[in-house]
Amino acid sequence: MRLILLGPPGAGKGTQAQHIVQRHGIVQLSTGDMLRAAVKAGTPVGLKAKDIMAAGGLVPDEIVVGIIADRIEEPDARNGFILDGFPRTVPQAAALDKLLKSKGLTLDAVIELRVNEGALLRRVETRIAEMKARGEAVRADDTPEVLSQRLANYRAQTEPLIDYYGEKRKLATIDGMKAIEEVTADIKRVLDALGDSAAKIRSRAARKPAAKKTKASKGAKKAVKAASAGRTGKKAGKKAKVAKKTVKKAAKKAVKKVAPKRAGAKKAKKSAKPAAKKAKTAVRKGAKKASRASSRPAKKVTKTRAKTARRLTKRG
């Protein structure tokens, strides 16, 4: 679990960070502590920071990011971490996103402790009064004046991170004005919900390889079917070619047989027409001749009878 706690000075970030560390077994990474540790260890980044810190200057963002990059590689940070004091600006947040992405990591949540600045100033005044009453020494930086300046810096530099992480849907806002125990309980609910969501994601991820395997086996089966279909297709193609040739041959023979008949039928039809005409003409001519032949004997008989009658008349 990788977290950031946001909130103005005096909001109770340090107290809540300790509760989270104990409950979830992660480490709290303070940029100040990391810088001092890097300088002490003499790392390349620590040596660069040492000269700047010795001169009283502000350590550049790239050096701070480099120190964080080295620190989160250590074994105790593998389960997760809470960043304390970083990022303070939007450019630092963007640099942190780039760093985590390069390592294949993501930020799980940013918890904002929202408080009333007027109430914070009153708390500081009350605490100072109580410390003086007990005879305790008051730190020079623990005064209402210093706190007012720190709050102004927070508004100008760090408060824009609320919108930055809100747009990324990483932000969870907690009412920091509640009692410490209530704030702790609210943070616990947020982180428990986050843990449940992470567990579901891991469960889905665990099922994905099986799904991929199933897809792969399906793909293999399809490949086998395609290969066998290809072989069958080749055989079928050969058979189809043979059948096609057979059909072509049969078609040619059929055409050869049918063509003469068609040609003869056409010729017969053509020759039948003049024959029919000739037959009709012959019938007509025969009818006329028959008519003439039938009429001729009658004329001859009539002429013969007339001659005979004339002869008999003369004799008589």
- List beta partners, residue 109: 3
pLDDT at 299: 47
* pLDDT beyond 90 at 204: no
The yes-or-no answer on residue 262 being catalytic is: no
State pTM to two decimals: 0.59
Q: Which of 36, 88, 114, 123 is catalytic?
A: 88
Q: Which of 78, 122, 127, 222 is catalytic?
A: 127
The yes-or-no answer on residue 296 being catalytic is: no
Range in 26-30, 213-217, 281-285, 310-314 the model is least confident about:
213-217
Across the range 196-201, mean pLDDT stands at 70
Contact 183, 113 (CB under 8 A): yes
* DSSP string across the chain: -EEEEE--TTSSHHHHHHHHHHHHT-EEEEHHHHHHHHHHHT-HHHHHHHHHHHTTPPPPHHHHHHHHHHHTTSGGGTT-EEEES---SHHHHHHHHHHHHHTT----EEEEEE--HHHHHHHHHHHHHHHHHHTPPPPTT-SHHHHHHHHHHIIIIITHHHHHHHHTT-EEEEETTS-HHHHHHHHHHHHHHHHHHHHHHHHHHHHHHHHHHHHHHHHHHHHHHHHHHHHHHHHHHHHHHHHHHHHHHHHHHHHHHHHHHHHHHHHHHHHHHHHHHHHHHHHHHHHHHHHHHHHHHHHHHHHHHHHHHHHHHHH-
The yes-or-no answer on residue 231 being catalytic is: no
Q: What is the pLDDT of residues 250-293, one digit of tens each?
A: 556 655 655 555 555 555 556 556 655 665 666 566 556 655 65
Q: What is the pLDDT of residues 65-86, one digit of tens each?
A: 988 998 999 999 989 999 988 9
213 vs 282: which has the higher pLDDT:
282
Q: Which of 114, 150, 170, 188 is catalytic?
A: 150
- Give the C-alpha separation, 162 to 169, whole Å: 10
- Give the C-alpha separation, 308 to 316, whole Å: 12
Q: Which of 13, 48, 50, 71 is catalytic?
A: 13
243 vs 278: which has the higher pLDDT:
278
Delimit the domains of the chain by residue range: 2-177
The yes-or-no answer on residue 139 being catalytic is: yes
The yes-or-no answer on residue 13 being catalytic is: yes
Angle among Cα 100, 14, 114 to the nearest 5 degrees reads 85
Q: What CATH architecture is 2-177?
A: 3-Layer(aba) Sandwich (3.40)
